[in-house]
Structure 1
Amino acid sequence: MTPRWRAPAAVVLLTASLLGACAGRTKTKEPSDGVSAADKHYDVAVASFHNGMFEDAKLQLERALAVDPKHADSYYLRGVLLLNEGKSMIEAVESQQCLEDEAANQQRSRAQELHRRAGEAFQAAADYYEAGAAGRGRALNSLSVVDLHFDASDKAITHARAALGEKFYADRYSALSNLGWAYYEAGRSRVGDRRAAAGRAAQPRLLRRSLPARTGLPR
């Protein structure tokens, strides 16, 4: 599949929702002190993430997953880190016109690999979240973002729909926007416009102001 070198508005919105979502932790069975060792590493990773200490966040996530290889929250945050890193790399290539073709291609290839790894992390998170966990909806919607990056519209539709099917998934506006964009990319523009409009209507007012007139189209 041909990679996409532009980000739909839904992806921009998702990044904002991902940042907020990372602050929470899915409730799991805990030891007598109330917090598992994996959760402790994850909490430190979240703090490092919000402070821009991304390498430390990655290290803490590795430690969390070493303790609990099925720690869904850690997989989810790992996906967020990889997705942001890949997106930043693409933006850097596009802004630095002085890069030689070979160097630019190497950076694009690296960005593609980061997006693939992000997809793997989000899939692991979706697999390991318990049924009904709010994080499962976030992971599924994040998979739709990766699908859109790789022009996999059908997969994006499937994952966005699955996210909307999660009862306790709160950021439905993001999934609706991604669903609209996926329908648009699949050539079903009327359905896409309706879904995107529903996403705009459902999203918080603060985020609504940052949207272009037609969600699902590149900025």
Structure 2
Amino acid sequence: MPLTSFLWRMLALLLCLSAAGCSVLQPHTDPTRFYMLTSRPQAHDTAERGERKRWKVGLRPVDVPAYLRNKAMVVRTQVNEVTFADFDCWAGPLDQGIARTMKDALSSSSNVESVTLDSFGSDTLDYQIAIRILACEGVRAADGSSSIRFSMSWEVRSVAANSAVTKRGVFTAPSAPWDGKDYGQFAERISDAITGAGQALAAALPMKTTQ
């Protein structure tokens, strides 16, 4: 084969490889979207605030089951089957988002003076709250409908009484409809459920009037 022809063929091959390499290395837009839990402003019961004992509350780190620690949003499709959204994720650790939203909900109550996160007990606190998440996910039913599920167990301990359990219970939010596609709506519905849970916890604290 003449040298000139060989060189031309090698040049053509190099050009083809270069073109292919450029197409492979083209940047692609990441379609992943990130969502945050947000608290909604709550009305303060100012009329009775001066008559109530206001408690200093500590919120222990929220206990979240392993399957919810993935940043991807979770949808339950069967009793024992869940799917993880490919491109829809929480913007941060779910336990921290729940704790932050719960703090806002508790702080809006007229019988709560302050809320301390990641608390393990302190002489400056009146009560300590421990929360274990049981469900925090979307649900797709066999008939094609979708909804949001949120449930948690909780304990309230009196710090002044050597951490004795004062109250315990389970909160399950009313089932909220979800269109099954809009994950911004998903995050909004979960936020509302957590706010409702915070209000229930505040109601579990004594509503003792000052002397």
- Calculate the TM-score normalised by the size of structure 2: 0.24
Report the structure, 1 or 2, having the larger helix content: 1
Report the structure, 1 or 2, having the larger strand content: 2
